[in-house]
Amino acid sequence: MPEGWRFEQSDHSMWSNLVDGNGFKRGSMFYKAAFYDRSAHLGLNTRLTTTEDLKAAKADGTLRCSAIARIPGKDDEDGCVIHTITHPEKFPDRYHTANEAERRRYFEASDKIREDISKWLLENYPDARSPHAYWDTQFSPSEASAPAPS
């Protein structure tokens, strides 16, 4: 591993975090040592990712997705928000509505807003899918929240 990189224990006994010398979580490793079911794999993180605000959707029906930059020592939901798109409509809780048409409209809008934030991220940060890109870039939180395109 590069100098300063290390594995750190996670909150789960079979998972470890791969952390670089600056404290960024660069990946995760899974290892299950049971003699009857051995398994291991390693996944690398990108610096930039997208997230959906599921708390807002459940609380008041707001569909909101953000592009975030991972920050040292924090989980993704605590990352630096660099852009947010909010859908102009509110939707009923998808789990508690008996109306299939409403549920379908929710999922279609949710798919569209996730597609829109991913498109924005790749247009503005073309190497966002690379686990090698943007780790040395300084990001500051975005004040603007863009409405979702129709």
SS3 state at 55: helix
C-alpha 20/C-alpha 1 separation (Å) is 9
pLDDT tens profile 84-138: 999 999 887 766 667 888 888 888 999 999 999 999 999 999 999 999 999 999 9
- From first CA to last CA, the distance across the chain in angstroms is 46
d(CA 4, CA 125): 27
38 plus 90 within the same structural domain = no
Q: Could you tell me if 70 and 36 lie in one domain?
A: no
- The domain tally of the chain equals 2
For residue 1, tell me if it sits in a domain. Answer: no
Same-domain status, 97 and 76: yes
Same domain as 117, residue 54: yes
Query: Residue 64 in contact with residue 53, Cβ under 8 Å?
Result: yes
What is the arithmetic mean of pLDDT over 60-81? 87
Task: Quick: pLDDT tens for 6-57.
Answer: 999 999 999 999 999 999 999 999 999 999 999 999 999 999 999 999 888 8
Phi, psi of 75 (to 5 degrees): -80, 165
49-77 mean pLDDT? 88
Q: What pTM did the predictor assign?
A: 0.81
Residue 102 sits in which domain range? 48-147
DSSP class of 6: E
Rounded-to-integer distance, Cα 114 and Cα 92, Å = 18
